[in-house]
Amino acid sequence: MIESSRGLAVDRLLAAGHPVVPVHPNVFHAMCLRWGASKAKTDAGDSMKLADYLRTDGDLLPRLEPTEQTTLDLQALTRTRAGHVEARVSAVNQLAALLDAHWPGGKAVFANLDSDIAMAFLERYPTPASAAKLTAGRLEAWCKRRGYSGKKPGSIQIERLRAAPQAASRISEAAVEQLVQVQLVQGIRTTIRTLDKAIAEAVETHPYAPLFATMPRIGKVSLGQIIGEIGPLLERARTSEQLIAEAGVVPVTRASGKSRTVAFRFATNRRARIALTTFADNSRHSSDWAAKIYNDARARKKRHPPPAIRILARAWLRVMWACWRDGTCCDPVIHQANNKIDTAAEAPLRHRG
């Protein structure tokens, strides 16, 4: 028995073929009164109590099974991508701060061009001196050669470049050229594109993909995140309510006397909740069923994003549970027509393999 259902220790034990029974620390603490009220605690005593608890109540406790290898691979890919996205945002913010301090004109162009073209522009013109001979025609032709959409003509771009205030920095042009490094951002973006391709390929062959691929506004990356993070919860959950609790989109009421508070569960899988709420927020823009649940929550004075989006995410988890339980693909037409998901039969009917 172990006090967690995930982590390196759990993965190692499952990989070695050992049976693993997770038990929540609060549950075990509540059961300790069975062996005496003195609240004495030793490692040997805890081991004896856990063994006795498993002997007497083991039939009520779930055993963990190893997560599918393809799910673990997809989970690793999506988590690595999420880390690179955070690194890209940090690098872009750092680059914007450098431009603001040393070349405000470059920041003005950087903020109004497509990201790829902006990176190429700063790589070609990293200082005010390097862009001094630019004209509206040359800038517009340069942008067109790189596939710029053309929403802003060259005259506007060059005006923004020239109208920007002069930098207060006294650092030389040569030093500024070394400071404005775009290779880091470009390298991270290239890695993200490679990960996107790998995620798309992994999703194509994953057995869970057909179950959720028809959900509204779920792209390859979002589908990979849902499978990678929600997939292990689906495999280990015994009921839809347990799944909802593990994902952290269930309200918890604490009432005592005249005080009453309702908050969402804090003990949760944070990555799974982020993947789920991101998809739920996107889905309401393409699904009338999802939009109605969200709008009804807003009408009840629920704020956006935490309560309203999590209420919608809870509804989508019931859809996912029904699809995984029955082994059937998600059908948005049926869900929108019935406006309700049947969760009466909790036992999963779909066989793993």
Q: Collapse the DSSP code of 81 into the 3-class scheme (helix H, G, I; strand E, B; otherwise coil) and give the result.
A: helix
CA–CA separation, 137 and 153 (whole Å): 9
Structural contact between residues 3 and 53, judged by C-beta atoms closer than 8 angstroms = no
CA–CA separation, 155 and 167 (whole Å): 22
The larger pLDDT score, comparing residue 4 to residue 74, is at 74
pLDDT-based confidence at 150, cuts 50/70/90? low
pLDDT-based confidence at 339, cuts 50/70/90? low
What does the pLDDT read at residue 86? 94
pLDDT-based confidence at 225, cuts 50/70/90? very high
What residues contact 135, with CB distance under 8 A and at least 6 apart? 154, 158
Average pLDDT over residues 35-45: 78
The larger pLDDT score, comparing residue 348 to residue 282, is at 282
pLDDT-based confidence at 334, cuts 50/70/90? low
Segment holding 255, helix H or strand E: strand 251-256
CA–CA separation, 269 and 233 (whole Å): 9
What does the pLDDT read at residue 312? 93
Burial letters for 92-113: b for 16+ Cβ neighbours within 10 Å, e otherwise? Answer: beebeebbeebbbbbbbbbeeb
Q: What is the DSSP letter of 46?
A: H
What does the pLDDT read at residue 336? 56
Q: Please provide the average confidence, as pLDDT, over all residues in the chain.
A: 82
Average pLDDT over residues 103-131: 78
The larger pLDDT score, comparing residue 27 to residue 277, is at 277
Share of the chain above pLDDT 90, in %: 26
Whole-model pTM: value is 0.76
Whether 344 shows a pLDDT value over 70: the answer reads no
Domain spans of the chain?
A: 8-60, 70-189, 207-338
Q: Collapse the DSSP code of 187 into the 3-class scheme (helix H, G, I; strand E, B; otherwise coil) and give the result.
A: helix
Whether 189 shows a pLDDT value over 60: the answer reads yes
Share of the chain above pLDDT 70, in %: 91
**What's the pLDDT tens digit per position in 310-328?**
999 999 999 999 888 888 8
What does the pLDDT read at residue 338? 52
Q: Collapse the DSSP code of 40 into the 3-class scheme (helix H, G, I; strand E, B; otherwise coil) and give the result.
A: coil
